[in-house]
Every structure is written in C-alpha cells, then in structure tokens.
Amino acid sequence: MTQNESPSGKSRDKRRLVAKRDGFFSKIGNQGIALTYDDVRLTTGYASILPDNINIESKFSKNVGLKIPIVSAAMDTVTEAQMAIEIAKLGGIGVIHKNFSSQEQAAQVAKVKYHLNGLIEKPICFDENTSIGEILASRQEKDFGFHSFLIIDKDHRLTGILTKNDFDFCEDFSLRAKQVMTKRVITASPGIGLREAYRVMKENKKKAIPLVNNAGKVAGLYTFSDVKRILSGDSKSFNVDKNGRLRVAAAIGVYDDAFERVEKLVREKIDLVIIDTAHGDSKGVIETLKIIKKHYDVDVLAGNISEPESAERLCRAGADGLKIGQGPGSICTTRIIAGIGKPQVSAIYECSKVASKFGVPVCADGGLKFSGDIPIAIGAGAHSVMMGNMLAGTKESPGEFRFHQGVQYKVYRGMGSLGAMESNKGSRERYNQGKDDLVPEGMEGMVPYKGPLKEVIHQYIGGLKRGMGYVGAGTIEDLRTIAQFVRITEAGKAESHPHDIVITREAPNYQKQQ
C-alpha cells in the first residue's frame, strides 16, 4: 500500500473491479454464451510485488488448506500413493482414485499418512507372539517405508520394539517378536511436545520414542527423522496436517460403497473425501453427503457440477468444497456423447459466485492445457485446480511406460473410458452405469513422459506467479477478487502462440501439440 492509499480506498477499488468482472460475465451470459480458457485472457494491472514474493497458499475445502493450489486428479493413471506423497511434499494434495477396493484404497491412504509423521497417534503394533516372518510379510504387503514396530502383549501393553537392526541381525524368521525385539525401550508420557521428544531421543540416541500411558499401553510414537525434519524447517513447503502428516484425499461414490470407504478412510486419518461422480447435482450425492456429514468429522467435497443452481443445492446440503467441470478433460467425451457440459471458465465463475456466499471453496477440474490457464481459472473464482493430463506422464504417475516412434510415453485414460469401466466398478459407478451395455464417456491414450513431478510443478507454479504478477495480485484471494478478463478471437488465440517461426528448441513449459 502506498502513502496515498487507505484501507477504505483499497476496498473501494476491489469492489469496483469485482463489479467490472461481474459485468463482463453478465454481458456474455445474457448473450447465451459460455467461455473456456482459449476464449479469454487476463488483463494487466498495477503491480507492487515481485512474482517470487507472491503468496499462493489457498484452500481445497473449508478446513483443508494448500501450500500450492494444485490437486492431482482421482484417476487410476494419475494418483496413487506415490503421486499423493510427492505432490503433498510440493504443497498440493493428491486424491486417491476409487478403482481400488475399499481396503486397497485405505492402504494407499495409509502409505501417505505414514510416510512421515510428527506424532503418530496410532502406531503400527504387533503382538509379541507374532513371527518375524509374518511381520515382514505384512510390511511388504502394505508397502510401509519404515522398519520400527512396537510390540505389545495380550493386554495391549508395550513390551518392546523391533527396529531395523533387530530385523537385520535376525537369521531365523520363524522366531517370535518377543525373542528378537529390543526390550529396553525409552518411553515418554502422552502430551510430550515435539521439542522435548527430540531432546529425549538425542540424549538417549534413540530413533523412536513410544508414548505410554499409566496403564502401560501405547498412546503414540515419535520418530527421530520426522521430528528433526519438522524442527529444522525442511518441511516448510510440505502440505501437512496438525500432526505433521502429509495431507491426502480420496474419492468415494454414493450410498453403501461410500459409507464403507469412509469408515476405513477415517481410521487412516484421511483429510478429505470427495463424492466423485459425473453428475454431482443428484439425489444420491446429496443424500450421501448429508449422511456422511452427520456421522463423521471429515470434510466432504462434492462434484462434479457446472451450474450455479447445483452449487447452491450442494452447499445447502453441507458440502465443504465443490468440484467444477463437466466434460472439459482432454480424455473426456461427455460433451460429445451426452451433449452436456458448460465451458469451464463460465462454469467456474457462476458456481464460485454462489459458493462464496456459503464460504465454500471451489476446485476447477479439467480443461487445463498450459500453466497460463491456472491464473485464468483462479481469476474466474477457483481456489484450486485439479489436473489429470498435466500430471499424467510424470515419473510419479502410475501409468505404464510405452515407446512410440522413438518417444517415451505413459498410458493415460479417462475414468469413463471403456477400459476403465470394463475393469473397475468404481468407474462404472462414477458414470451411473452397470456392467453390461456400457456407454463410454472417455478415451484411452498416452501422453509424452514429462519427468519428475517436482520439475513439472515448478513450471506450473512459475506460470501462475507470473500471471499474478501481471495482474497485480499478491495472494490467491487477490487474484480471485481483482482479475479482469477480455474475450479474444481466433486470431487473438493464434497470436497468443508462437508463430511465423520454426521452433528449434522446445521450452520445458510449452508444447505446440497441446
């Protein structure tokens, strides 16, 4: 704020800019026209902050925050545990798809939540009579990335701990845990703080310190590597919950399957569930939403929708967040097969106007092709963007590798594709279809290999920050408030891309075929 600016003056400017943007979309809407990313560009404004100093923290739902406004889509070729872990470390959040069984999906969430922890409230414990072989088999099955396990007796009292050293020096896997475990365990009382736990572990040269209550039962666990990481500040960019665990979300359906999944997911400390359907404004979604909110203390995001009336119904039903987008995805054919779907920028704007009255964040799902589409989506009212194609093909995505004409690709398919629906009940339910006589609403294909997620996200965030810098927005909320739009013609679209040259060296953030 300059010397000549006052808080009231700044507020008036924002109200003026909001009214101007409302006027733009109102005029377009009155003509029966809806716009998408290629139809518009943001206009520049006065900037008083450098792009690198811009704050891009946002919200995914009412109670789940984001360090970066990027979410990986709940698709079986985009988000499983590896992707969810890495994107949370970069500040975003991943949504585990529901083509897993409920048990498998919960195990995927557990991998993320147990990947690093400040305080592990419910550490993995084994009975002292369990064999070492059984413990190792369980560790491999659940793909745990740690080696320390607490050992308890039949009354659930702590009797010892198994560490990596204990496993390494054990030559007979038929031995019971009580025969191999370390019996002298340094413990602490529940309620001990992070710094005190760190001091105790350093003094005793122990990499794990169980918390034990007065009855001798396990009440938690601190691990040295995670506590040190948190206290050293290495995790500042991580998107973590209040206990230092990586945040993660998961997709669910409606009714019985949803309730079964939520029960298991809540046990694994899920941060948020998404009722993930092609048509979120439906009886099944609304009834499922109400029941979950009544019985579970967990944020629920609902979707997908593209109309303001749909946003109001879901907000009134208790949604903590909305997912906007019907048919904009690169592998989605809903608009062609069913003739349904509003162009994405108009859908985001109209739904976010309603959701803001309820204090409900919205996520723009689908249709993004370039990093410049991210500030456009947020400028239209989104709090975050969900990516499928733009994250598929990264090292962390679960799609298999293929080579085509000497180029490395990864498989990418829509959840409404024939292959996904033939092999997975979750995909069929998302599009409200049975197993026979399927009508696909998506395609199967492949995308070029993009490399590590960290490098890809760096380019996307760089584009977002530079877009915000041009607009003059210092925060995500500023961008949502002051962004102004112009509609462009086909000639303007062509002018926006490199033209009249032969590209001799591709940039890491631009591919013409997009």
| Strand residue runs (E) in 130-217 | 149-152, 158-162, 208-212
Q: Distance (Å, rounded) from C-alpha 176 to C-alpha 132? A: 6
What's the half-sphere exposure (Cβ side, CA atoms, 13 Å) at 489?
A: 1
Nearest Cα to Cα of residue 488 among 32, 42, 20: 42
Q: Distance (Å, rounded) from C-alpha 97 to C-alpha 76? A: 6
Quick check: helix, strand or coil at residue 385?
A: strand
Active site residue 363: no
Please state the separation of Cα 246 from the chain's center in Å: 11
DSSP 408: E
DSSP 348: H
Active site residue 332: yes
Residues 313 and 324 sit within 8 Å (Cβ to Cβ): no
Catalytic residue among 315, 332, 351, 363: 332
Q: Distance (Å, rounded) from C-alpha 229 to C-alpha 116? A: 9
295: amino acid identity, one letter: H
Q: Distance (Å, rounded) from C-alpha 128 to C-alpha 148? A: 14
Q: Distance (Å, rounded) from C-alpha 197 to C-alpha 188? A: 8
84: amino acid identity, one letter: A
104 CB burial (10 A radius; 0-12, 13-18, 19+) = middle
The full length of the chain comes to 514
Catalytic residue among 21, 313, 428, 430: 430
What are the residues whose beta carbons fall under 8 Å from the beta carbon of 493, sequence distance 6 or more?
A: 38
Please state the separation of Cα 54 from the chain's center in Å: 21
Q: Distance (Å, rounded) from C-alpha 221 to C-alpha 124? A: 9
Angle subtended by helix axes 283-295 and 255-267, to nearest 10: 30
Count CB-CB contacts under 10 A for residue 169: 8
Quick check: helix, strand or coil at residue 461?
A: helix
What are the residues whose beta carbons fall under 8 Å from the beta carbon of 151, sequence distance 6 or more?
A: 125, 126, 127, 128, 158, 159, 160, 161, 162, 177, 178, 181
Q: Distance (Å, rounded) from C-alpha 479 to C-alpha 58? A: 11
The DSSP secondary structure of 120-152, one letter per residue, reads ESS--EEETTSBHHHHHHHHHHHT-S---EEEE
Provide the H-helix boundaries in 42-129.
81-89, 102-113
By annotation, the residues acting in catalysis are: 332, 430
